[in-house]
Chain A
Amino acid sequence: MKTRKSGLVEIALLGGLGLMAVLTLTVPQHLRDHTPDALLSLSVLLRDTDSSGWNVARQGMEQAADELGAELRFLTLTVQNDTREQEEILRREVEGGADAVIAVPADPEALHGVLDRLTADCPLVTLEASAGFGTPFVAADHAEVGRCLAETLLEDWDGGEVLLLDTSKACPEVTPRLKAALDVLTAAGVPAERAAPPDTWSDWRWVMAFESAATRQAAAAKENGSDSFSLYGVGSSTAITALLERGTISAVAAWSDYAAGYLAVEQAVEAVRNRPQTLTPLPFSIVRGEDIYAPENQKLLFPVTS
Chain B
Amino acid sequence: MTFFRSLAAQWAQRYRKMSIQMVLSLSFTAVAAAGILLMGVSFLWRFSSANEQTAAENSQRILAQANLSLDSYLRRMMRIADTVYYRVIKNTDLADGSYVEALGLLYEENRDDLVSLAVFDSRGELVSAVPLAAMKEGVRPAESEWFQAAFQNMENLHFSTPHVQNLFDDPNSPYRWVVSLSHHVELTRDGVTEGGVLLVDMGFSGIEQVCRDVTLAKGGYLYLVDSGGELIYHPRQQLIYAGLLEENHRAAAGYRDGSHVETFQGQTRQVTVKTVGYTGWKLVGVAPAESWLASSQFLTFGLFLLVFAIFLMAFLNFLISARIADPIRRLDRSVKALESGQDVEIEVGGCYEVQHLSRSIRSMVSTMRHLMDDIIQQEGQKRRNELEVLQSQINPHFLYNTLDSVVWLTEAGQQTEAIQMVASLARFFRISLSKGKSIIPLSDELEHARHYMNIQQIRFKNQFTTNIEIQPGTENLYTLKLIVQPILENAIYHGMAGAEDDGRISVSARREGDDLLIDVSDNGVGMPPETAASLLNPDRPVMQTSGSGTGVHNVHERIRLTFGEGYGLTIFSEPDEGTRVRIRLPALTREDAARCQQEGDVL
Please report A residues at the B interface, Cβ cutoff 8 Å: 2, 5-6, 9-10, 13-14, 16-17, 20-21, 23-24, 27-28, 31-32, 59-60, 63, 238-239, 241-242, 245, 256, 258-259, 262-263, 283, 293, 295, 298-306
A-B contact count (CB 8 A): 109
Q: B238 and A304: CB pair below 8 A?
A: yes
A60-B297 contact in complex given A24-B305, A293-B164, C-beta closer than 8 Å: no
Chain A residues whose C-beta falls within 8 Å of the C-beta of B312 in the assembled complex: 17
Contacts of A299 in B (CB 8 A): 241-242
Shortest Cβ distance from B205 into A: residue: A306
Asked if B308 and A263 make an inter-chain contact with CB atoms under 8 angstroms apart, the answer reads no
29 chain-A/chain-B pairs, Cβ below 8 angstroms? A2-B19, A6-B322, A9-B25, A14-B315, A16-B311, A16-B314, A17-B311, A23-B308, A27-B304, A31-B297, A32-B297, A59-B238, A60-B239, A242-B173, A245-B136, A245-B166, A256-B241, A258-B238, A258-B239, A259-B243, A283-B243, A293-B164, A295-B163, A298-B164, A304-B177, A304-B238, A305-B177, A306-B203, A306-B204
**Chief secondary structure at chain A's binding surface:** helix
Q: How far is the CA of A23 from the CA of B296 in the complex (A)?
A: 15
Shortest CB distance B319–A (Å) = 8
CB of A10 within 8 A of CB of B318, answer yes
Complex Cα distance A270/B315, Å? 49
**A13 x B243 contact (CB < 8 A):** no
Residues in chain A near residue B208, CB distance under 8 A: 306
Contacts of A306 in B (CB 8 A): 203-205, 208-209
* A23 to B308 alpha-carbon distance, docked (Å): 9
Cα of A10 to Cα of B203 in the assembled complex, Å:
75
Contact (Cβ within 8 A) A28 B304: yes
Given A60-B242, A241-B173, check contact A304 B304 (CB 8 Å).
no
Q: Within the complex, which residue of B19, B241, B307 is in contact with A304, where a contact is CB–CB below 8 Å?
A: B241
B467 within 8 A of A: no
Chain A contacts for B329, CB-based, 8 A: 2
Q: Is the CB of A300 within 8 A of B238?
A: no
In whole Å, how far is A61's beta carbon from the nearest beta carbon of chain B? 12
- Do the beta carbons of B205 and A13 come within 8 Å of each other? no
- What 5 pairs between A and B have smallest CB-CB spacing? A259-B242, A306-B205, A299-B241, A20-B308, A242-B173
For residue A302, which residues in chain B have a CB less than 8 angstroms away from its CB?
164, 175, 177
CB of A13 within 8 A of CB of B315, answer yes
**A300-B241 contact, Cβ under 8 Å, with A2-B329, A9-B318, A20-B308:** yes
Closest to A293 in B: B166
Smallest CB-CB separation from A243: which chain B residue?
B173
> Of residues 192 to 217 in B, which have CB atoms within 8 Å of A's CB atoms?
203-205, 208-209
Of chain B, the residue at the smallest CB distance from A24 is B304
Return chain B residues, CB-CB under 8 Å to A242: 173, 175
| B308 & A21 in contact (Cβ 8 Å cutoff) | yes
Q: Within 8 Å CB of B92, what residues of A?
A: none
CA distance A106 to B66 in the complex (A): 48
Residues on the A chain within 8 Å of B136, using CB: 245
A295 vs B160: C-alpha distance when bound (angstroms)? 13
User: With A17-B312, A262-B244 given, is the CB distance from A63 to B175 under 8 Å?
Assistant: no
Known: A10-B318, A305-B177, A306-B208. A63 touches B300 (CB 8 A): no
| Neighbouring A residues of B173 by C-beta, 8 Å | 238-239, 241-242, 245
Q: A2-B21, A27-B304, A298-B164 are in contact. List 11 more A-B contacts (CB 8 A).
A: A17-B308, A17-B311, A17-B312, A23-B304, A63-B238, A239-B173, A256-B243, A259-B244, A302-B164, A302-B175, A304-B241
Instruction: Select the residue from B162, B237, B308, B312 with max chain A CB neighbours within 10 A.
Output: B308
B236 adjacent to A63 (CB under 8 Å)? yes
Given contacts A2-B19, A256-B241, contact A20 B166 (CB under 8 A): no
Q: Is the CB of A31 within 8 A of B296?
A: yes
What distance in Å separates the Cβ of A67 from its nearest Cβ neighbour in chain B? 8
When the two chains form their complex, are residues B301 and A28 in contact, meaning their CB atoms are under 8 A apart?
yes
Most buried by A among B175, B318, B329: B175
Assess the B21–A6 pair: CB atoms within 8 A. yes
B22 contacts which chain A residues (CB < 8 A)? 6, 9
List residues of chain B with CB within 8 A of the CB of A238. Answer: 173-175
Chain B residues in the interface with A (C-beta under 8 A): 19, 21-22, 25, 136, 162-164, 166, 173-175, 177, 203-205, 208-209, 236-239, 241-244, 296-297, 300-301, 304-305, 307-308, 311-312, 314-315, 318, 322, 329
Q: Are B177 and A27 in contact (CB under 8 A)?
A: no
Contacts of A5 in B (CB 8 A): 19
Measured CB to CB, the nearest residue on chain B to A260 is B242
B597 to chain A, nearest CB (A): 54
CB distance from B212 to the nearest CB of A (A): 9
Name A15's closest neighbour in chain B (CB-CB).
B311
CB distance from A194 to the nearest CB of B (A): 32
A31 cross-chain contacts in B, Cβ below 8 A? 296-297, 300
Q: Give bound CA distance, A258 to B21, whole Å.
A: 72
Nearest to A28 among chain B residues (CB) is: B301
Inside 8 A of A300's CB, which chain B residues have their CB?
241-242
Chain B hits for A239, CB < 8 A: 173
Q: How far is the CB of A9 from chain B (nearest CB, A)?
A: 7
Q: Contact at B238–A20, with CB atoms within 8 Å?
A: no
Q: Which residue of A lies closest to B301 (CB)?
A: A28
| A17-B315, A305-B177, A306-B204 as given contacts; A24 in contact with B241, CB under 8 Å | no
Given contacts A262-B239, A262-B242, are A304 and B204 in contact (CB under 8 A)?
yes
In the complex formed, the residue of B with least CB distance to A2 is: B19
With CB as the reference atom, state the residue of chain A lying closest to B25. Answer: A9
The listed residue with most B CB atoms (<10 A of its CB), out of A20, A258, A299, A304, is: A304
CA distance A291 to B173 in the complex (A): 17
CA distance in complex: A262, B244 (Å): 9
Q: Which residues of A contact B300 (CB under 8 A)?
A: 27-28, 31
Contact yes or no, B242 A298, CB < 8 A: no
Min C-beta distance of B29 to chain A, whole Å = 9
Cβ of B246 to closest chain A Cβ, rounded Å: 13
Distance, CA A143 to CA B285, complexed state (A): 43
Query: Do A13 and B311 touch across chains, with their CB atoms under 8 A apart?
Result: yes
Residues of A within 8 A of B318 (CB): 6, 9-10, 13
Measured CA separation A70–B205 after assembly (Å): 26
Docked pose: A284 CA to B157 CA in angstroms: 37
Chain A residue with minimal CB distance to B204?
Answer: A306
Query: In the docked arrangement, what's the CA distance between A10 and B323, Å?
Result: 13
* A263 CA to B209 CA, complexed, in Å: 26
A20 near B242: Cβ-Cβ < 8 Å: no
Closest to B241 in A: A299
Q: Is the CB of B204 within 8 A of A20?
A: no
Q: Which of B166, B203, B301, B312 has the most CB of A within 10 A?
A: B301
Contact A60 B238 (CB under 8 A): yes
B309 to A, closest residue via Cβ = A20
A263–B244 CB distance below 8 A = yes
Contacts of A14 in B (CB 8 A): 315
Taking the nearest CB of chain B, how far is it from the CB of A42, in angstroms? 18
CA distance A239 to B296 in the complex (A): 51
CA distance A246 to B322 in the complex (A): 95
A300–B239 alpha-carbon span in the complex (Å): 11
B237 contacts A304, CB within 8 Å?
Answer: yes
For B301, give its contact among A27, A59, A303 (CB under 8 Å): A27
Taking the closest CB of chain B, its distance from the CB of A26, in whole angstroms, is: 9
With A and B bound together, what is the CA distance between A60 and B136 in angstroms?
30
- Tell me which residues across on chain A come within 8 A of B238, comparing CB atoms: 59-60, 63, 258, 303-304
Query: Within the assembled complex, what's the spacing in Å between the Cα atoms of A262 and B312?
Result: 53
Whether A241 lies near B175 (C-beta < 8 A) is yes
C-alpha gap A272/B296 in the complex (Å): 26
- Specify which chain A residues have a CB less than 8 angstroms from the CB of B25 in the assembled complex: 9
Q: Is the CB of B239 within 8 A of A63?
A: yes
User: What's the least CB distance linking B575 to chain A, in Å?
Assistant: 59
Q: Which residue of B lies closest to A303 (CB)?
A: B238
Structural contact, B242 and A258, CB atoms closer than 8 A: yes
On whether the beta carbons of A20 and B244 are closer than 8 Å, the reply is no
How far apart sit A301 and B379, CA to CA, in the bound complex (Å)? Answer: 124
Complex contacts, A63 vs chain B, CB 8 Å: 236, 238-239
Smallest distance from the beta carbon of B208 to chain A beta carbons, Å?
A: 5
Bound form: Cα–Cα A28–B312 in Å: 19
